[in-house]
Structure 1
Amino acid sequence: MKINELIDSPSELTDTAASKSAVVLMTRIRLARNLAGHPFPGWARDTQKRDIRDQCMQAVAALPQMKRGLAIPVETLDELQKQILVERHLISRELCHAKAGSGIVISKDQSCVVMVNEEDHLRIQVLRAGFQFKKVWNTINALDTDLEEHMDFAFSPTLGYLSACPTNLGTAIRASAMMHLPALVISAQMEKVVRAVNQLGMAVRGLFGEGSDASGSIFQISNQTTLGESEEEIIKHLHGVLNTIIEQELNARERLVGTEPNKLFDKIGRAYGILQNGHLLNSGEAMNLLSLIRLGIDLGTFADTQRALVDRLFIECQPGHVQHAAKGAFDPAQRDVLRADRLRSEFAKVPSPDFTHAAK
């Protein structure tokens, strides 16, 4: 598979089989692994990094799970291609800046990704739409086991898997969920939730991870502890925290409908009007408007069949995807016009909201 084939093919997060979950958009687990007897990427010379990359990519690409996928050195990708992969949550922004000796292997359905020579030799990642930790863990555990049969990972009997960053020692697992929390944002409760989650040993980040904004009221919540607990214990703890947040979000929605229905439905109605008629939309505004439409779907003001459209547009209204669809490089002002054109076209087919069902 070539990079443009992968970009143009449906992915786990952009096809029509969108998540049915009202709150959890995506579940993801990542494992950090390093080869024994080799310097970590931050210390390796370029020749060493290229040798490690070739060895790792060959082993990963040979796995049955990665059959007919994409295996490519990062330096062969152009900036737009890298941006699209970041927007699909397939690679990190850090990997985009790698100068030499880094690579990626992506499965055909884009649910399994291995980044080579990012911070660690291997960053193994599996993602799925919706709240599917068991399925994601089973998949990534099998990938890790298969790789370990062919590669000698750096491991300490006392510290567990060794990693470039001490915070990843032990299991070297990062489990996360991308959550849509508009009612907590609208009711100004999100700051309280973030504080409580942090006290439980979890991290809360924006749409594209550390340092990014929570556009569209979308937050990534993940574990911070990797040492001293098993993978199953870490996932179970995170699962419990996420269920509590889901309950808080659903309660906040119920309160908004019960106490401030006109304020809430006005926001949803205005979002629908702008998406149908707007001519200039930046990515942040588009995300916030789509967030309100998704909330409207959850409340019954739009048909549930529109959920797949909104989930797809969360990705496709990002700058890289907008430029790819228009087949060119465009400055931000031009992208705002193209984005609005695309959203107007999509929402011209979406029936008007029906607030009578939700109001009850």
Structure 2
Amino acid sequence: MFGSVSNSGGLGPDYTTPTEWLRGQGRCSDVVMSSRVRLARNLAAHRFVPQADRTQRAQVLSLCRRAVERVGPLRWVDVHTAQEFERRLLVERQLMSRQHARGKLAGGIGGPDEPRGLAVSLPDERLSIMVNEEDHLRIQVMRSGLGLADALAAADAADDMLEEELEYAFSPRFGYLTACPTNVGTGARFSVMMHLPGLKLLGDIDKVRRAAEDMSLAVRGFFGEGSEAVGDLFQISNQTTLGKTEQVLLHEMEAEIIPRVIDYERHARRMLVEKRRMTTLDRVYRALGTLRHARLISTDEAMELLSLVRLGVLTQLIPAADIKPINALLLFVQQAHLQQIVGRELTQQERRSERARILRERLADVG
């Protein structure tokens, strides 16, 4: 189905509206695309997802759905009955993980029909709650730009409402109990998606990795764990939660590591403009020229070229251009969104052709 997502859940009719992480607003949004806080929770007296059988997972799904529906105006998706296209659309919008879309459990067992769900706040999509991913509940809040503190406050509020309905697995000694030991404690994962083309072009991206390693943080790609940094988009997140409060984790991310990376990237951009201006101008306008004239283009190539155009707009090498359409295209060139825009399933060759057409149309007035 390629109209609005099915009434079993989904995104409704506004699928062409960029989601929260692409609004291009908020603090430091020239470098920080979005901030995300995720809380992992499990129910007391219920087997954790990797150890539960199908019947037990279905029981947890039913319990959690009833509780989630009391949180607020959320749209529910039965992920195990959703079409593959719908699942891909939700992953592309950063509303659920690729693991949740596939239904794979620890050890590679399971599949698409494993009982699991997703709740999404509409119309802003700032809050999403995965049920029966690695943990019974994964509460996720997104904010545009650098806004981890605000995201944490919203996640805690949703968590408190759920805890009024559900009894969590909690240890006075260890904190919240989770399927993966690295999440035990607060169960909180702080993540920031950053656009780092300057560091990439100067060959200094290892600065980010070293700074992250110094503070036991992970650097991942566009879709998180196991993914590549397509379009110079990197996710930086904490790896462990045991022994640290949410406020300590928040301070490490929002006041220490992320500002350092922002400074690195802004310095790299200044170097490119001031010391390598003609070379950078050439790369930026070659990217724009390819996007405005190509007849066939892959997702990865489109993302890499859009990254350069975004750099050009933000450094004013491409004058008087609005960043929002560029941000939106980072989403619309993805496979499921492309097919949703076109209105039908596409072959690989058709996707490359339609992607190029959409890029030509939407970038016609840029530069």
Q: What TM-score do you get using the length of structure 2 for normalisation?
A: 0.91
Structure 1 match to 2:118 = 104
1:157 and 2:172 aligned: yes
1:228-267 aligned at under 5 Å gives the runs 228-239=243-254, 240-267=256-283
2:313 to 287, 292, 297: 297
CA distance in 2, matches of 1:340, 1:75: 33
1:332-343 aligned at under 5 Å gives the runs 332-343=348-359
1:12 is displaced (CA, Å) by 3.4
SS of the residue corresponding to residue 20 of structure 2 reads coil
Structure 1 match to 2:294 = 278
User: Aligned partner of 1:103: which letter?
Assistant: G
Q: 1:212 to 1:105 in 2, by over 3 A?
A: same
1:192 and 2:192 aligned: no
1:59-208 aligned at under 5 Å gives the runs 59-64=67-72, 67=73, 69-98=74-103, 99-108=113-122, 109-208=124-223
1:191 is displaced (CA, Å) by 2.1
Residues paired across the two proteins, number: 347
Structure 2 match to 1:8 = 15
User: Aligned partner of 2:242: which letter?
Assistant: L
User: Aligned partner of 1:133: which letter?
Assistant: L
1:7 is displaced (CA, Å) by 5.7
1:31 and 2:39 aligned: yes
1:301 is displaced (CA, Å) by 2.6
1:213 to 214, 224, 228: 228
Which ranges of 4 or more aligned residues in structure 1 deviate by more than 2 Å? 1-4, 6-15, 17-20, 301-305
SS of the residue corresponding to residue 3 of structure 1 reads coil
CA distance in 2, matches of 1:311, 1:224: 28
CA distance in 2, matches of 1:6, 1:231: 36
User: Aligned partner of 1:250: which letter?
Assistant: R
CA distance in 2, matches of 1:6, 1:143: 25
> CA RMSD of the aligned region, Å?
1.6
Q: Is the 8 A contact 1:18 1:308 kept in 2?
A: yes
CA distance in 2, matches of 1:143, 1:304: 40
SS of the residue corresponding to residue 222 of structure 1 reads strand
Q: Is the 8 A contact 1:169 1:226 kept in 2?
A: yes
User: Aligned partner of 1:53: which letter?
Assistant: L
User: Aligned partner of 2:66: which letter?
Assistant: Q
Which runs of 5 or more residues in structure 2 are unaligned?
1-6, 104-112
Q: Is the 8 A contact 2:116 2:133 kept in 1?
A: yes
Which runs of 5 or more residues in structure 1 are unaligned?
353-360
1:18 to 24, 38, 54: 24
Q: 1:230 to 1:185 in 2, by over 3 A?
A: same
User: Aligned partner of 2:117: which letter?
Assistant: G
CA distance in 2, matches of 1:168, 1:61: 25
CA distance in 1, matches of 2:238, 2:119: 25
- Percent identical: 38
CA distance in 2, matches of 1:322, 1:329: 9
Range with greater deviation from structure 2 (19-28 or 113-122): 19-28
